Structure 1
Amino acid sequence: MSANNVSEKAPILVAEDLRTVFHTPRGDVRAVDGVSLTLRPGETLGLVGESGSGKSVLGRTLMGLISNDSRTTISGKVTLAGNDVHAMKRAARRKLWGTEVAMVFQDPMTSLNPVKRVGTHLTEALRYHLKCSRKEATDRAVELLKQVGIPEPARRMTQYPHEMSGGMRQRVVIAMALACDPRLLIADEPTTALDVTVQKQILDLLGSLTAERDMATILVSHDLGAIAGRTDRVQVMYAGRTVEQGLTREVFDSARHPYTDALLASIPQIENAPHTILRAIDGSPPDMARPPAGCRFAPRCKFADATCTSQLPQLEKVAGSEGRAVACYHPLQISGTHRMEVS
């Protein structure tokens, strides 16, 4: 789908200044700290960053899976299909799960109940949300398994999760997420622990289903290779904040934030000679219970100065670029030589 066609559609998801704070004995952990995003039907957004950057917590907060209580404070606004998610009671919010928004979780082995058959996993949601009869739900479940590329779907319905390979289990989780035709799909590290050939199959499957169903999709990953060529826009997160965002092609071709640039530089290149030493990002992510006063990437950034270490940079638009923004006092001006090809 062209960018123009997507931009003409009303957003399915709008998040404004979203914050998720966990209250711990060591202090408040700002897992998501002022993140905003907009997503339209037929569009795929890539959320990237190191482990611990807040990607998964953001996905769960968008769905309303994390609630305000004595241990957690959530602020900001999430509008999903016209509903203010965090203003809804949990019972009402539950009706959105599956029908309006669904999530593919990281590890299918822990996402699936080991004592329930695959068919039970699929038919439960269909009977609850769509009020299907047992036969209708079974027929629909078999068709879903067929759609996600599982051979002998009728036989697989009677199997338990441990009887299937990792790739097959991941396809079952995707089928569960798509069972009630959600308008938004959040895929949280959908290729974790899978070999590269199965990873490609799963990512190709998600891409084709997004196009066929005109869904909005959020693809969460720390693997920039999985994001390249499979998303329309990308949002780079570091320590709970968005540090750069824009069209995937533009961001991968000319990163403006030093962190994005460092992520791209750390990716092995096929043209490199054998035994080439891989580049790494110096230092470690910050302790989120005691984050730095200024830019959270400053302790690891070679461009950091006194301003960076004392003042937190805000996300600002990049002139002459649609939707491009960067949170940095010293944005990069030139492209490096390590860029990935985005088809």
Structure 2
Amino acid sequence: MRAVDGVSLSLAAGETLGIVGESGSGKSVLGRTIMGLITNGPATQVTGSVRLAGVDVHGVKQARRRELWGTTVAMVFQDPMTSLNPVKRVGLHLTESLRLHRGLSKGAARERAVELLRQVGIPEPARRAGQYPHELSGGMRQRVVIAMALACDPQLLIADEPTTALDVTVQKQILDLLQSLAERLDMATILVSHDLGTVAGRTDRVAVMYAGRVAESAATDAVFGTPRHPYSQALIESIPSIESRPHSLLATIEGSPPNMLAPPAGCRFAARCRYAVDRCRVEAPALEPRGAAAGSVVACHFPLTAPLQHQRQEVGA
């Protein structure tokens, strides 16, 4: 099974890339592969390269890869419940990397750890640093994971659903913190999220993934204003709108993603696409530049051209 198939991305310092798509589209696997956490083994095979600041993560030994984790690249994992060691106190999760990568003394590392916990909005950070993960709520554990990722000021941060377990007000605080750190440190960020509203307001570019492949990639304004791929259009239309009539049905994408063990020969979205024709079902479209916007690519034989509002009117006609 190809969990991630032929994905190619580039990211500049200080730039934020949003990756969106349904569950199972390959977003988290892509992030772990960039980190170097998924490598060749009995059950997996990785081809291609991942170059971070000139270093091929998959071409170096494990010891060198460990040196890159935390300083060059860091990741906020999706599930805070399994991202923390249950037998280590919260503070140790932070001081360990600070002492290893920054050479801080035990006391200085603890002071920095408490400050990091305060930055991510944890009350009584000094006391929380002495507690175990099970003594914290899910939202607080998520904030600890974020503090861990930011501890050594990485050049690239991969945030996989970083605000899943947080309430709305804390979500804004965390996203504001990530944005301010990215600006201060000139840090590149990959933001993986199911919340299209978050991605729309916090990213420079967006890559839409479907069934392990990139369906469309362009500047954020271009994707949300004039989506070129029917899947991008359907995702945006599924967002509830305050302008919708009361008690009206929410827009959905009919059907289910394809079986990745036996993907279809043609476009992987064809079975669910309202515009699909016979060619779409037998010939896979290439990811090619489309439109006047620089860097805009889409994998569709018949890419959409009208702004989103016009597309909605045409479909409803």
Q: Could you tell me which residue of structure 1 aligns to residue 263 of structure 2?
A: 291
Q: CA deviation at 1:167?
A: 2.6
Q: Say what the alpha-carbon RMSD is for the aligned residues.
A: 1.5
- Among candidates 60, 69, 81, match of residue 88 of structure 1: 60
Q: Could you tell me which residue of structure 2 aligns to residue 209 of structure 1?
A: 181
Q: 1:193 to 1:152 in 2, by over 3 A?
A: closer
CA distance in 1, matches of 2:80, 2:112: 21
Q: Could you tell me which residue of structure 2 aligns to residue 16 of structure 1?
A: none
CA offsets per residue over residues 246-305 of structure 1, 9 Å max, x none? 110111001010000000010101222332210100110001000000110011112112
- Which structure has greater helix proportion? 2
CA distance in 1, matches of 2:103, 2:240: 49
Question: What 5-or-longer segments of structure 2 have no aligned partner?
Answer: 313-317
Count of aligned residue pairs for this structure pair = 311
Question: What 5-or-longer segments of structure 1 have no aligned partner?
Answer: 1-28
In the alignment, is residue 138 of structure 1 matched against residue 138 of structure 2?
A: no
Q: Could you tell me which residue of structure 2 aligns to residue 129 of structure 1?
A: 101
Q: CA deviation at 1:236?
A: 0.3
SS in 2 for 1:242: strand
Q: Could you tell me which residue of structure 1 aligns to residue 30 of structure 2?
A: 58
Q: Which moved more, 1:92-101 or 1:318-327?
A: 318-327
CA distance in 1, matches of 2:29, 2:93: 24
CA offsets per residue over residues 143-168 of structure 1, 9 Å max, x none? 21222232322222112223323332
Q: CA deviation at 1:321?
A: 0.5
Q: CA deviation at 1:330?
A: 1.0
- Among candidates 222, 230, 235, match of residue 263 of structure 1: 235
- Judge conservation of contact 2:218–2:297 (CA < 8 Å) in 1: yes
Q: Could you tell me which residue of structure 2 aligns to residue 240 of structure 1?
A: 212
CA distance in 2, matches of 1:108, 1:174: 9
Q: Could you tell me which residue of structure 1 aligns to residue 151 of structure 2?
A: 179
Q: Which runs of 4+ in 1 moved over 6 A?
A: none
- Among candidates 202, 209, 214, match of residue 230 of structure 1: 202
- Among candidates 71, 74, 83, match of residue 111 of structure 1: 83
CA distance in 1, matches of 2:156, 2:111: 24
Q: Could you tell me which residue of structure 1 aligns to residue 74 of structure 2?
A: 102
- Judge conservation of contact 2:139–2:165 (CA < 8 Å) in 1: no
Q: Could you tell me which residue of structure 2 aligns to residue 319 of structure 1?
A: 291
Q: CA deviation at 1:70?
A: 2.3
Q: Could you tell me which residue of structure 2 aligns to residue 336 of structure 1?
A: 308
CA distance in 1, matches of 2:2, 2:121: 40
CA distance in 1, matches of 2:236, 2:153: 35
Aligned-pair identity (%) = 69
Q: Could you tell me which residue of structure 1 aligns to residue 315 of structure 2?
A: none
Q: CA deviation at 1:170?
A: 1.6
CA distance in 1, matches of 2:245, 2:168: 21
SS in 2 for 1:47: strand
Q: Which moved more, 1:47-56 or 1:308-317?
A: 308-317
Q: CA deviation at 1:187?
A: 0.3
CA distance in 2, matches of 1:156, 1:52: 35
Q: Could you tell me which residue of structure 2 aligns to residue 170 of structure 1?
A: 142
- Among candidates 246, 249, 252, match of residue 221 of structure 2: 249
SS in 1 for 2:280: helix
- Judge conservation of contact 2:75–2:158 (CA < 8 Å) in 1: yes
- Which structure has greater strand proportion? 1
Amino acid at match of 2:148: M
